[in-house]
Amino acid sequence: MVSAWKIRRELDRLRQQLQGIMDLVTDPIAQRQLERVLAAGLPSTVGALKMGPKIALFLIYQPKGLSESTLETCRFLTRAGYIPFVVSNAPLTRQDRIRLQPCVWRIIERPNFGYDFGGYRDGLTYLRQCGLTPAELLILNDSVWFPTITETGILVKLAASPADIAGPILRVRGSERFLESYLFRLRRSALEHPAFSDFWANLKLTSNKYYVIRRGERGFSAAMRGAGLQVEGVYDKATFVEDIAIQDETFLRSTLKYGAYIDADLVKESANLLQENHTGWREDAIVHIRKVLEKRQVYSSFPYANVQLTGYPLLKKSTEPVSKAWRLAYLKAVEAEEVPAPSDQVLAEIRSHDLGRRHSQR
């Protein structure tokens, strides 16, 4: 039987594709209007920080008001040596600008057109207008809580990667290889490459999510790889599978206990394994984990093991069933003190997002 969420997902995808026919007419008009706004100068606010050699272009969309975790992300980036430059896809209140100013170099506000890649594009345009080409540019958005581990080495991993462009996860879809677009790091070698400027100059913006992913997230990695730039993910599924295979039974039981599943057959298989204690159990558990990872991602399927083995410090805010299952499994592990807890504020936001609880109950 096909799961109801899969049917809803495919119907939504079909709806977006059909809407894309009308978007072919309306998107160019909206883009021309945006170009006029951009040429006249987007509203900007000067922050308290001075520009440095490493910039973090941080895209936010918070029409209901700025979250405290956004300020925490900015402070974390600053401690790591990056100067935050905030691009908002929604108007900010005067109070929210005041809250952001001590944490950033600059804030710009733009119309909400083009999702994250529209905001990235206009942020890059603003930097170019300012004559800035940093030695290193971090691009990220607020579709994730980051960091969920207060002492994390992810930015060190990204900086240490020899790739021109590096992000946490390089997704594999058939012959496609593309970085998940909520966080990636670019060296000057990428920023100054003609293919980089060509991509953004020729990008057709849209607010159709289906086409944003294909033109933006997938299109960007394809264009950069096609130009000979090295694109790399620093967390690797194959390495995780190798590492999980040498763990003891106690670790594997915790891996399954705090597993996140949306496939009924795998839910049942995991529950049966957790009730069993037989010779060969460890090998059966490893086979089960590999089976899950044939169709799912490490970070969302096994948050306990992923945090323990890699220190992965991100949590998606998406409403998709797989992301919600991930967050609930993560919260269960946090409350059992099996993985490090995020800051109190981030924890409260996660609980509020999925459980309706606004205060820490540790």
Chain center to CA of 227: 24
Distances (CA, A) of 193 to 131, 155, 160, 224, 234: 16, 23, 20, 9, 22
pLDDT of 27 reads: 83
Q: Quick one: average pLDDT of 37-48?
A: 88
Give the least confident one: 3-7, 157-161, 179-183. Answer: 3-7
In degrees, rounded to 5, the angle at the alpha carbon of residue 44 between the alpha carbons of residues 39 and 46 is 140
In a domain, 322, yes or no: yes
- Measured CA to CA, the distance from residue 338 to residue 227 in angstroms comes to 44
Is 331 part of a structural domain of the chain? yes
Q: What is the pLDDT of residues 170-224, one digit of tens each?
A: 998 888 999 999 999 999 999 999 999 999 999 999 988 888 899 999 999 999 9
Domain range holding 250? 237-355
Instruction: Report the pLDDT value the prediction gives residue 17, as an integer from 0 to 100.
Output: 58
Q: Are residues 148 and 261 in the same domain?
A: no
For residues 25 and 130, membership in a common domain is answered with yes
Examine the fold and report which residue of 198, 233, 268 is the final residue of a domain before the chain moves on. 233
Name the band, by pLDDT with cuts 50, 70 and 90, for residue 137. Answer: very high
Show contacts of 200-205: CB within 8 Å, 24+ apart: 200/121, 200/124, 200/125, 203/117, 203/121, 204/27, 204/28, 204/31, 205/27, 205/30, 205/31, 205/34, 205/113, 205/114, 205/117, 205/118, 205/121
* 137: in domain: yes
pLDDT at 169 over 90: yes
Q: What is the pLDDT of residue 362?
A: 30
Q: What is the DSSP letter of 60?
A: E
Among 185-194, 208-217, 236-245, 293-302, the range scoring the smallest mean pLDDT is: 208-217
Same domain, 242 and 228: no
* Domain match, 194 and 325 both: no
Nearest to 50 by CA among 114, 3, 112, 103: 103
Element (DSSP H or E) covering residue 88? strand 83-88
Q: Which residue has the higher pLDDT, 60 or 29?
A: 60
User: 163 and 259: one domain?
Assistant: no
**Residue 26's pLDDT is what?**
79
pLDDT, residue 15, reads 60
Q: What is the pLDDT of residue 150?
A: 87
CA distance 63 to 112: 10
Q: What angle do CA 73, 59, 153 make, to 5 degrees?
A: 35
> What is the number of structural domains in the chain?
2
List the single range of 3-12, 19-28, 63-72 with lowest mean pLDDT.
3-12
Mean pLDDT within 20-47:
79
Q: What is the pLDDT of residue 101?
A: 98
Give the pLDDT mean for 40-68.
95
| 215 and 249 in a common domain | no
Do residue 246 and residue 229 come from a single domain? no
Q: Is residue 164 situated within a structural domain?
A: yes
Does residue 31 have a pLDDT over 90?
no
Determine the residue type at 68: E
Does residue 362 lie within any of the structural domains? no
> Does a structural domain hold residue 291?
yes
Indicate whether 183 and 296 sit together in one domain.
no
What is the rounded CA–CA span in Å between residue 316 and residue 309? Answer: 19
Question: Looking at the structure, do residues 206 and 272 belong to the same domain, yes or no?
Answer: no
Please check whether residues 36 and 129 belong to one and the same domain.
Answer: yes
pTM of the predicted model as reported, rounded to 2 decimal places: 0.90
Shared domain for 45 and 176, answered yes or no, is yes
Give the pLDDT mean for 314-327.
Answer: 96
Percent of the chain beyond pLDDT 70?
A: 91
Residue 67 has pLDDT above 80, yes or no: yes
Note the pLDDT of residue 8. Answer: 60
Q: Is residue 5 part of a domain?
A: no
Quick one: 217 and 286 in the same domain?
no
**CATH of residue 34:** 3.90.550
Of the given ranges (37-46, 242-251, 305-314), which has the lowest mean pLDDT? 37-46
Task: Please identify, among 233, 262, 285, the residue that sits at the C-terminal boundary of a domain.
Answer: 233
The answer to the question of residue 1 being in a domain is no
First to last CA, the chain: 39
Domain end (from 208, 233, 258) = 233
Q: Please check the confidence at residue 141 and state whether its pLDDT lies above 70.
A: yes
pLDDT value, residue 16: 58
User: Is it the case that residue 5 has pLDDT exceeding 60?
Assistant: no
| Model confidence at 237: pLDDT above 60 | yes
